[in-house]
Amino acid sequence: MKSNIKPPKVKEVPYNRSSIDTLSDKLANDSEATLLLEYPTVYIVHSHSGKDKYDVYVGETNDIKRRSIQHLDDDPRLRLDWKQFRDGKNAQMIMIGHEHFNKSLTLDIENQLMLYMSGLTQVSHLNNRRDNPQNKYYTSKEKNEIFSKIWRKLNSLNHRLFPIEEVVKNSALFKASPFHDLTDSQQEAKDQILQRVTEILDNGRTSQLILVEGEAGSGKTVLLSTIFYLLSQFESEDGKKIDAHLLVNHDEQLKVYEEIAKKLGLGSNTVDKPTPFINKRSTDEKVDVALVDEAHLLWTQGKQSYRGSNQLADIRKRAKVTIAVFDRHQVLRTQEFIEKKDMDLMEASARKDGNFIRLRDQLRMNANPDTIQWIEDLTEKRVVGKIPDDDHYDLRIFDDPQKMYAVIKEKAHHSENGLSRMLATFDWKFVGNGKGDHGHPWEVTASSASHLHDLTLPWNLQLPLDASQKGQGKKLAWAEQRQTIDEVGSTYTIQGFDLNYTGLIIGPSVKYRDGKIVFDPSASANTNAVQNRTMKSGDKRTVYEELLPNELHVLLTRGVNGLYIYAVDAKLRTALLKNNQR
């Protein structure tokens, strides 16, 4: 159906006093000038901060000319944000108007622009970092369509600063941005957490734990990112700021948070790994708040530079409040394993203090509940059921790994399909980032039944960075690097991230015997999951029966719009194909 919503009015002018003084004259012959001069408007000020790098300010106003003069001439605060634009020689201002703009809609458009700008690697600094999500209002249903029309106009104006929407949405920065609209569940959790943090700090209590539990795709990362941002912006009446630190053990996720902190000016030492955070501070130097993303990745025994016995306990000793985001189904290594009684005690303690929050929504996968349940049954009940009909989610079983790879490459080739990559259970040898036994990359090999279409691809992060992305490599997550379409990723590179379409090779550690899925540790190359774990009692025992299913679950739940599966084990492959209705 053709939309009746008209396109926005978008106009770019030099950002200086002379240009703004003559703004009315420049628009004198423009029939739509009133949309910019007399209606509420949204505006973007940008300037080059290096080759293909930009500093950006996003704002909204009811009087674009008056607001611009305030910033250029007599802003009483003389904010650095404005000084750099005012004194620069290449600053431009983009004015955006629409006949349906009102105060609430312009605030929502402003927030959406900040969300998009925060997801772009070419934006070095993003200024005016307010968080202004609006509730329902007269034109709220039009917001998404109007915003898309605005973005397309911005893209035609400057495609380097404003790439197509799908490129933005595929960015790991975008997905972890603190400017997303929160669901009702996330909003309720955010309000509860901020209230508890305020109460705890006001009462002078220390070592308090707020535990947020939720399964993969329940929106934990966005919630934590939002809380980290809001706490970093908080300032008490006496001018004191909250000393908040965000910690994560996952290398790929750490890159994302470091880039967000840099972009939003939150401080270079506010994002860290747990071990450096612990080593840099004594228990007498407590920070106000430590936020721990992927807390299931914290070590519960000594390893490498960490000589303690429980990273979460050591973080709590160094923070007045610790907010830990946790999913017990994503514990993947023996070093992270938590004995059930300890997990139950931690949860009970948090509940007793009113500090336990559970997120239940599934926000990642565009799948119906039956499809999600089918995936859960593979790892929890260890059964292969009939694959449900689902018009929203593309779930397919392949009998040929090469064909599956070809479909993934085709999906990845079209930007509207977003990021699509190959993944596999960790059943093939891989040592660091070095080369394999014969000087070649460590490889994943999946054999077809006929052996005519065997698939061999390098494991994650071994191919050289695509030439077009040189200079960005260290800032990009594995799936965002273009050459990784010719690699296979593992839980170590993809945990915590989304793909639009996943091609999953289920390796020989996952078998099908006597009507049940079984996990074979002898066929796994993941020593971190199958080696013995020393329990608190001193006994050594294996915990692969919990860790290998968790590994499979993480990989099965990465795809937003589709999941393609090839099983190496012939009996598992037969069972999957037999139950494939699509």
Helix runs in 217-363, H state only = 220-233, 251-263, 274-280, 311-316, 340-352
Backbone φ, ψ for residue 84 (5° rounding) = -70, -35
Q: pLDDT per residue over 293-334, tens digit each? A: 989 888 888 777 888 889 999 999 999 999 999 988 888 888
Query: How many angstroms separate the CA atoms of 334 and 545, rounded?
Result: 11
- Taking 3-state DSSP, the helix, strand and coil percentages for the chain, each rounded to the nearest 5, stand at 40, 20, 40
For residue 177, the one-letter residue type is S
Task: Name the stretches of the chain with pLDDT < 50.
Answer: 1, 78
Q: How far apart, in whole angstroms, are the C-alpha atoms of residue 496 and residue 507? A: 21
- pLDDT tens by residue, 141-169: 899 999 999 999 999 999 999 999 988 98
Tell me the angle at which helices 143-157 and 103-118 cross, rounded to the nearest 10 degrees: 50
Count of residues in the chain: 582
The Cα 276–Cα 554 span in angstroms is 27
- pLDDT for the residue 218: 86
Rounded to two decimals, the pTM is 0.85
- E strands along 398-498, which residues? 420-424, 443-446, 455-458, 488-489
What pLDDT score was predicted for residue 451? 65
Query: What gap in Å lies between CA 302 and CA 304, rounded to an integer?
Result: 7
Instruction: Give which of 506, 281, 501 is closest to 413, Cα–Cα.
Output: 501
